[in-house]
């Protein structure tokens, strides 16, 4: 098959979840014998035309000059180029800024497959108008795609309820972290099992404030690492609010994957607050790093973690958990083992790639 992947900021990944998905998926599809192209913005630092057998096609993206409008231009350029090349499958990762063009692609030869991502229109950082636009984009993506991918069981249920449309559930993947190196911790001034942490974009829907309020309420003085870019208005607000709590440390973004994995592996408790979208890649990475997870209680996270995790929905719930460490510790071995087995069995990249390949073959055969 000739497969084109759009909707990302390019590979190799230096940005986020969809980029990670595109990189792993594309490389493994090439190994399976397919011809795969991934579209990247012109400013991506990788300057070669090929990555492990994957064709890299750069397109102009003026986002850095004109803001979000640039992504519309970029998505349009990518899709038009892919369709003119007459790929068999056009896989679009995420509908935002791309789906507005879907209604005009009806005379194409390629089959449009869309990974619908999470409920983007629920993000607190957006105004009411932007949320309405995002909801409209979602509806366009759902209506005009030839086939839908849902990355979470609850997203699959949502698409059925909201649009009466079936989708194929395929999650993200993660690689088991198998090379812990305790010396990494010295870089961050912490010791094994003597700190707690969270890794997230500092945005309201990731429940960072609820988490930190719970830490303060518990009276805990164990170092707490907040990992995520904080040079934002909301980041500045959080730093100001907790400035008198010396044990809460804002480290900023850490983009060294080995360092992140080690910090997760050697931490005492890992707090996951994401709440608005699908299967979160950082949650899978935490599971793969044997992090002991305390998660925000919502259907998306429960779909991934099941009953093998502790949950919170308020600062008081976090404080109660931290005041009952014997209860927390009584399930550590079981929960860590269960989550790691899930990564090996369900969330490994080869398994994910096999599922995408099966969908692509099925929709091509049905054409």
Tens-digit pLDDT string for the chain (367 aa): 999 999 999 999 877 778 989 999 999 999 999 999 999 999 999 999 999 999 999 999 998 889 888 889 999 999 999 999 989 999 999 877 888 888 887 657 899 999 987 666 566 666 778 778 888 888 999 999 999 999 888 899 999 999 999 999 999 999 999 999 999 999 999 999 999 999 998 988 899 999 999 999 999 999 999 999 899 899 999 999 999 999 999 999 998 889 999 999 999 999 999 987 778 889 999 999 999 999 999 988 999 999 999 999 999 999 999 999 999 999 999 999 999 999 999 999 999 999 999 999 999 998 7
pLDDT of residue 107: 59
pLDDT of residue 128: 79
Distance CA 274, CA 210 (A): 11
pLDDT of residue 124: 62
Distance CA 227, CA 241 (A): 17
pLDDT of residue 119: 63
The residue whose two tokens read 């366009």 is: 140
Taking residue 62's Cβ as centre, other Cβ atoms within 10 Å add up to: 15
Of 178, 174, 94, 92, give the one whose Cα is nearest residue 350.
174
Distance CA 38, CA 141 (A): 20
User: Long-range contacts: 307-315, Cβ < 8 Å, 24+?
Assistant: 308/334, 308/335, 308/338, 308/339, 309/335, 309/339, 312/210, 312/211, 312/214, 313/210, 314/210, 314/214, 315/210, 315/211, 315/213, 315/214, 315/216, 315/217
pLDDT of residue 60: 96
Of 141, 138, 100, 101, give the one whose Cα is nearest residue 121.
138
Domains of the chain by start residue, with CATH: 2-173+348-366 (3.40.50.2000), 182-345 (3.40.50.2000)
């Amino acid at each position: 098959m000739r497969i084109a992947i759009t909707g990302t900021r390019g590979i190799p990944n230096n940005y986020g979840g969809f980029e990670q998905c595109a990189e792993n998926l594309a490389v493994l599809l090439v190994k399976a014998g397919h011809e795969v192209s991934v579209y990247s913005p012109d400013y991506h630092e990788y300057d070669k035309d090929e990555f492990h057998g994957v064709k890299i096609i750069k397109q102009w993206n003026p986002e850095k000059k004109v803001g979000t409008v640039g992504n519309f231009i970029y998505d349009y350029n990518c899709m038009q180029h892919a369709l003119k090349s007459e790929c068999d499958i056009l896989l679009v990762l995420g509908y935002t800024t791309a789906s507005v063009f879907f209604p005009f692609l009806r005379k194409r030869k390629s089959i449009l497959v869309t990974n619908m991502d999470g409920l983007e229109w629920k993000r607190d950082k957006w105004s009411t108008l932007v949320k309405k636009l995002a909801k409209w984009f979602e509806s366009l993506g759902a209506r005009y795609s030839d086939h839908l991918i849902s990355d979470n069981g609850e997203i699959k249920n949502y698409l059925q309820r909201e649009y009466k449309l079936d989708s194929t559930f395929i999650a993200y993947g993660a690689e088991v972290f198998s090379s812990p190196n305790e010396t990494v911790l010295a870089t961050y001034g912490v010791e094994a099992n003597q700190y707690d942490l969270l890794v997230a974009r500092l945005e309201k829907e990731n429940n960072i404030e609820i988490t930190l309020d719970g830490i303060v309420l518990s009276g805990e003085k164990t170092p707490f690492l907040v990992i995520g870019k904080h040079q934002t208005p909301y980041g500045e607000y959080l730093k100001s609010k907790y400035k008198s709590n010396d044990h809460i440390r804002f480290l900023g973004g850490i983009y060294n994957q080995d360092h992140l994995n080690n910090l997760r592996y050697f931490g005492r408790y890992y707090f996951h607050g994401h709440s608005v979208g699908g299967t979160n890649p950082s949650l899978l990475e935490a599971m793969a790093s044997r992090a002991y997870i305390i998660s925000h209680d919502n259907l998306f996270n429960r779909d991934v973690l099941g009953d093998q995790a502790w949950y919170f929905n308020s600062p008081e719930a976090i404080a109660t958990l931290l005041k009952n460490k014997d209860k927390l510790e009584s399930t550590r071995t079981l929960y860590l083992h269960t989550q790691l087995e899930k990564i090996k069995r369900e969330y490994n990249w080869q398994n994910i790639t096999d599922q995408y390949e099966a969908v692509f073959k099925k929709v091509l055969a049905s054409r």
